[in-house]
């Protein structure tokens, strides 16, 4: 039976982060979006442990009014990190207004555009704060493509990409984060549904399938397998035509 050694995972990840920053951004800051959920909270806590709180900078990016933004403020205060708030509503609305003149905006666009604006904002802040952008996606989300390409799926370095949701939660508890950050249900920000509502299965089911090979009921297994195959392209560097000049 698979057993997660959280102490070793944390120690190894912290050492890896320190080494990565030494090689790819010596003296730079870790800059990351803060939602107050488990992924951004755990990623921020790992960066604080690796680099110290003075080198971790949070960016809060509400789209207008955000009912749960207090989680983000509380996380930054708990970790003692500096942060800024950049409301993206004006930028998103401006793009919608420009598109509306000639294009019928799809629901997928309305779902994904804010994530892409947030990532552009993170890079703008990072360049102004001598930073490197921290990706906060986890293995479970990546497995089924539950991320926005060139939105939350990117960054300069990713400490959580090989940890499942179950493991991310264990890391958060090991690091002493308040439980509310670990159990906060991820909301899609569009229709108020949780990630699990949208996926059609729980992360616990997905994680057991990934780590232990415990297959869910047939329809769920087929859905997970289909999503995994369809979204593998998100995890690759952009495909390019392999042209080779003739001799």
Count Cα neighbours of 111 within 13 Å in the Cβ-side half-sphere.
14
Chain mean pLDDT for the chain: 95
Q: Determine, yes or no, domain membership for 181.
A: yes
The CATH number of whichever domain residue 60 belongs to comes to 3.40.50.620
Q: Is residue 1 part of a domain?
A: no
Whether 242 maps to a domain, the answer reads: no
136, 39 Cβ separation under 8 angstroms: yes
Q: Is residue 145 a part of any domain in this protein?
A: yes
Question: What does the alpha-carbon distance between residue 70 and residue 232 come to, in Å, rounded to a whole number?
Answer: 35
208 inside domain: yes
Tens digits of per-residue pLDDT, 185-195? 876 555 567 88
Per residue in 131-152, pLDDT (tens digit) is 999 999 999 999 999 999 999 9
Domain limits for position 64: 6-235
- In-domain check, residue 201: yes
Q: Is residue 243 part of a domain?
A: no
Q: The pTM is what?
A: 0.94
In a domain, 122, yes or no: yes
Count of domains for the chain: 1
């Amino acid at each position: 039976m698979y057993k997660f050694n959280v102490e070793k995972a944390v120690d190894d990840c912290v050492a890896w982060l320190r080494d990565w920053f030494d090689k790819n951004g010596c003296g730079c800051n870790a800059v990351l979006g803060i939602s107050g959920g488990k992924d951004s909270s755990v990623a921020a806590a790992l960066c604080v442990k690796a680099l110290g709180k003075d080198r971790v900078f949070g960016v809060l990016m509400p789209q207008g009014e955000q009912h749960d933004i207090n989680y983000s403020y509380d996380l930054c205060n708990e970790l003692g990190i500096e942060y800024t708030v950049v409301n993206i509503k004006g930028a998103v609305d401006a793009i919608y207004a420009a598109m509306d003149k000639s294009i019928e905006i799809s629901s997928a666009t309305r779902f994904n555009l804010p994530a892409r604006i947030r990532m552009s904002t993170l890079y703008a802040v990072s360049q102004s704060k001598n930073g490197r952008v921290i990706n906060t996606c986890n293995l479970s989300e990546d497995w089924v493509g539950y991320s926005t390409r060139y939105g939350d799926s990117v960054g300069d370095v990713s400490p959580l990409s090989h940890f499942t949701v179950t493991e991310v939660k264990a890391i958060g508890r090991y690091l002493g984060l308040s439980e509310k950050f670990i159990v906060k249900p991820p909301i899609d920000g569009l229709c108020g549904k949780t990630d699990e509502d949208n996926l059609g299965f729980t992360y616990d089911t997905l994680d057991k399938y990934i780590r232990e090979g415990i297959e869910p009921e047939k329809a769920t297994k087929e859905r997970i397998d289909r999503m995994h195959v369809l979204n593998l392209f998100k995890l690759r560097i952009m495909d390019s035509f392999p042209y080779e000049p003739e001799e």
